[in-house]
Amino acid sequence: MNPFSLNGLYAITDNNLIPQERFVETVECAIVGGARIIQYRDKSNDKIQRFEQAQALSHLCQKYKIPLIINDDVELAQQIRADGVHLGKEDAKFSKARAILGTDAIIGVSCYNQLSLAQQAVKEGASYVAFGRFFISRIKPQAVHAHVDLLSQARKTFNCPLIAIGGITPDNGAELIAAGADCLAVIHGLFGQTDVTIAAQRYTELF
């Protein structure tokens, strides 16, 4: 089993929001502000940059003793010995990811607005399941909408950590926590702000 408790602010990186020359420094600001989990998310095809940034974040997360999750890329997660991977419906199969990364790896699964996807993921042994988007998202404006009631249903159904994502702000996040979310996953609300540390603190206070 992995040694990490999955709760609190779940920070997801975005290379369009974080200056390359201040990449690690900016993520560290989120951690200082209270981020408890970091997900490295980079949709580019620059393999060298992806490796270097992910490896640097791995060292950073080890320093602060928090988990680093790699978005989509099981191979990269294995290469840098990340703590886990996050899978969407178009990504690698859960069984393949588990076979490659081992029994201790954190493997999270996007379940969008469908409890049935979460049931399948939990059955396969997912470390956590993620639902959303709950509010209008700047990053994925076309993403399917999930109702807050879905979290309440999921909380009654599953014992694993529940992650909420999509347009979450310090003003609407408390509603999701009250409904059962263990983590609030945030991209623009953190890395699209002038002061990342203060932005992180505002989310952290909700918990």
Is the pLDDT at 2 greater than 70, yes or no?
A: no
With pLDDT > 90 as the criterion, what percentage of the chain qualifies?
89
pLDDT at site 43: 86
Active site residues: 41, 110, 140
Q: What is the mean pLDDT of residues 82-91?
A: 90
pLDDT in tens, 137-179: 877 777 789 999 999 999 999 999 999 999 999 999 999 999 9
Architecture of domain 8-204: Alpha-Beta Barrel (3.20)
Is the pLDDT at 1 greater than 60, yes or no?
A: no
**Comparison of pLDDT for 141 and 66, the residue scoring more:** 66
Q: What is the mean pLDDT of residues 86-110?
A: 92
Structure tokens at 19: 């200056």
Q: What is the mean pLDDT of residues 173-197?
A: 98
pLDDT at site 91: 65
How far is Cα 181 from Cα 149, in angstroms, rounded to an integer? 11
Q: What is the mean pLDDT of residues 50-59?
A: 98
- The 3-class secondary structure across the chain, one letter per residue, is CCCCCCCEEEEECCCCCCCHHHHHHHHHHHHHCCEEEEEECCCCCCHHHHHHHHHHHHHHHHHHCCCEEEECCHHHHHHCCCCEEEECCCCCCHHHHHHHHCCCCEEEEECCCCHHHHHHHHHHCCCEEEECCCCCCCCCCCCCCCCHHHHHHHHHHCCCCEEEECCCCCCCHHHHHHHCCCEEEECHHHHCCCCHHHHHHHHHCCC
Q: What is the mean pLDDT of residues 48-60?
A: 97
Q: Give the least confident one: 3-12, 97-106, 177-186.
A: 3-12
- pLDDT range class, residue 80, cuts 50, 70, 90: very high
**Comparison of pLDDT for 137 and 41, the residue scoring more:** 41
pLDDT at site 98: 96
Is the pLDDT at 94 greater than 60, yes or no?
A: yes
- pLDDT range class, residue 89, cuts 50, 70, 90: confident
Residue 126 and residue 94 in contact, taking contact as beta carbons nearer than 8 Å: yes
